[in-house]
Amino acid sequence: MGETFVNSYDPRVWAQQWSPQRSLERRASQQSLVRRRLTAAGIAGGVLLAGAVAAWLARPHEEAVAEAPADAPAGSAVASAPAAGHVRRTLQLANPAELATALQRFGLSPQLANDVAAQALPALDPNGEVRAVLDMTRSGKQLAFYGLEASNRDSSGAVVRLGADGKLETRRVSAQVSEKIMTLHGIMDGDSFYTSAVAVGVPNTLISPFAKALSFDIDFQRDVAAGDAFELAYSQPVNAAGEPQGAPKLLYASMTTQTNSAAVYLFKDATGQEGWFDASGRTVARTFMRTPIDGARISSKFGMRFHPTLHYTRMHKGVDFAAPIGTPIYAASPGTVSTATPNGCGGNWVIIDHDKGMQTRYFHLSRYAAGLHAGQAVQQGETIGYVGVTGTCTTGPHLHYEVHMNGEAVDPLSILPAVDTQQRRALTGPDLEAFEKVRDRIDVSRAQGSS
């Protein structure tokens, strides 16, 4: 059967012993030995184990990336390129400060480790994780430093090599970040859109933009129920290793309910104006948003009611949206702030005047948006404040929202669709062609799952 098989984990032993004929003989010998041992032990799954061992013994011989003992001595021999006996180690470090110590642990002398780390550090984020690939060459039992590739999470960093003159040479590497379109879809559970979205892996930062993108067509407080379907596509910057870098950005949102469906695409026109459009290229923006807050529950509607703090029946001139303290509140339509000062019953409140005698009022804010003041122009969807419990006429955190027409309070849930007479803008010419390319790219990614 030839030479006795040497049971060793050292790749150098395999290299000295290996030949095609010896490999076949050893594999047959090992298979026979394994079968005999399994039979003697009475192991029912022996055939599977023997097959696995046979496959392991039949693997291709590879020496180019053999692992070396961690305590092997390091020299300063110059190597122009990795040769036979080339050793590669990959290090994951919490921050660059650990680099020099890690290089020593994997075989470099203290002086060389410090010099190499000093060359790489200027290119590394001092507060970020580091991925380092250490290349060394073997000469007998000696290990010689060949090079180091140290990179940040965005793949930027530095390559340090030993030059022909024995001196360290350093080259900076630029960030290698690309955009990947990710798609997710799910079914509404019985709790809320938030829990439904989290369940399928939607990033937290996209949940509010998703609801806001569909706010003109879908009322998340009244229209959505368990079993309704939703889908989104978003761009995610990734590094060369495919790891996420930076914040994701929503590109597409759709919701299908029992009575309605809507799908919108994000697009920036030639003037730099960004907005949401339907598949035909028409803007989905309306005169008023259906609701000026995301993810809230309607706790009290417009009409006569027994007031919880005043303890008598009176007209409730708005709609109450129960939401956690600090939830953003948006301007329902473009307009001018006429009031942004505290009020006794309403607490911190904001009044915005709009076109055609329309006015909206927002009560009980915990605080105003930074710099908000009377006379300030605001855009639709702009944050004007945050949910709170200020004022003497509230029992819990919520937004009291009112709409007035020519000085008369009207039901926000019934009047807004009726007064929404704004002509929806449609893209044309080059803008429409550019939009169709964006839409088609997103649709291809949706069909494929991601790209």
What percentage of the chain exceeds 90 in pLDDT? 42
Measured distance CA(256)–CA(373) in Å, rounded? 39
CATH of the domain at 339: 2.70.70.10
Q: Interhelix angle for 20-41 vs 46-57, to 10°?
A: 160
Greater model confidence, 28 or 448: 448
The total of other beta-carbon atoms located within 10 Å of residue 171's CB is 12
Whether 21 maps to a domain, the answer reads yes
Q: On the CB side of 425, how many CA atoms lie within 13 Å of its CA?
A: 13
pLDDT recorded at residue 295: 64
DSSP state of 379: -
Residues 134 and 230 in one domain: no
Whether 324 maps to a domain, the answer reads yes
Using DSSP's 3-state secondary structure scheme, residue 112 falls into helix
> pLDDT confidence of 450, banded at 50, 70, 90?
low
What is the pLDDT averaged over residues 266-286? Answer: 91
Q: Check the CA dihedral 215-216-217-221 and report its sign.
A: positive
Measured distance CA(451)–CA(448) in Å, rounded? 7
Residues 200 and 146 in one domain: no
> pLDDT confidence of 436, banded at 50, 70, 90?
very high
Residues 30 and 118 in one domain: no
What is the pLDDT averaged over residues 343-362? Answer: 92
Whether 303 maps to a domain, the answer reads yes
Residues 346 and 408 in one domain: yes
pLDDT recorded at residue 292: 87
Residues 258 and 304 in one domain: no
pTM higher than the cut 0.85? no
Which of 211-215, 247-251, 262-266 has the least mean pLDDT?
211-215
pLDDT recorded at residue 314: 66
Residue where a domain terminates, one of 144, 173, 202? 173
What percentage of the chain exceeds 70 in pLDDT? 75
What is the pLDDT averaged over residues 54-62? Answer: 36
pLDDT recorded at residue 63: 33
Query: Is the pLDDT score of 38 beyond 60?
Result: no
pLDDT recorded at residue 297: 75
User: Is the CB of residue 77 less than 8 Å from the CB of residue 144?
Assistant: yes
Query: How far is C-alpha 103 from the chain's CA centre?
Result: 32
Among 24-33, 38-47, 123-132, the range with the most confident prediction by mean pLDDT is 123-132
Whether 289 maps to a domain, the answer reads no
Q: Whose CA is closest to 361, among 325, 396, 395, 385?
A: 385
Whether 83 maps to a domain, the answer reads yes
Which of 44-48, 266-270, 404-408, 421-425 has the least mean pLDDT?
44-48
Residues 166 and 182 in one domain: no
Measured distance CA(105)–CA(97) in Å, rounded? 14
Query: Is the pLDDT score of 55 beyond 70?
Result: no
Query: Is the pLDDT score of 216 beyond 70?
Result: yes
CATH of the domain at 239: 3.10.450.350
What is the pLDDT averaged over residues 155-162? Answer: 91
pLDDT recorded at residue 278: 94
Helices and strands in the chain, H and E counts = 9, 24
Task: Give the mean pLDDT of the chain.
Answer: 79
Total domain count, the chain = 4
pLDDT recorded at residue 32: 54
Query: Is the pLDDT score of 451 beyond 70?
Result: no
Whether 285 maps to a domain, the answer reads no
- The answer for residues whose C-beta is within 8 angstroms of residue 340's C-beta and 6 or more apart is 349, 350, 351, 368, 372, 373, 374, 376, 384
Residues 194 and 165 in one domain: no
User: Which amino acid is residue 276, in one-letter code?
Assistant: W
Residues 223 and 262 in one domain: yes
Residue where a domain terminates, one of 151, 173, 195? 173
Residues 321 and 306 in one domain: yes
Query: Is the pLDDT score of 276 beyond 70?
Result: yes
> pLDDT confidence of 364, banded at 50, 70, 90?
very high
Using DSSP's 3-state secondary structure scheme, residue 221 falls into coil
Q: Encode pLDDT of 295-347 as tens digits.
A: 677 878 877 755 555 555 667 888 898 888 999 999 988 999 999 999 888 89
Measured distance CA(421)–CA(355) in Å, rounded? 12
pLDDT recorded at residue 317: 82
Residues 17 and 30 in one domain: yes
Measured distance CA(21)–CA(449) in Å, rounded? 48
Residue where a domain terminates, one of 149, 173, 197? 173
Q: What is the helix, strand, coil percentage profile of the chain, to 5?
A: 25, 35, 40
Residues 371 and 414 in one domain: yes
The total of other beta-carbon atoms located within 10 Å of residue 165's CB is 7
Host domain of residue 191: 178-277
Whether 443 maps to a domain, the answer reads no
Q: Encode pLDDT of 4-21 as tens digits.
A: 444 433 333 334 444 445
What is the pLDDT averaged over residues 132-152? Answer: 87
Any idea which residue has 């984020």 for tokens?
125
User: Which amino acid is residue 163, in one-letter code?
Assistant: G
The total of other beta-carbon atoms located within 10 Å of residue 13's CB is 12
Residues 257 and 159 in one domain: no
Whether 33 maps to a domain, the answer reads yes
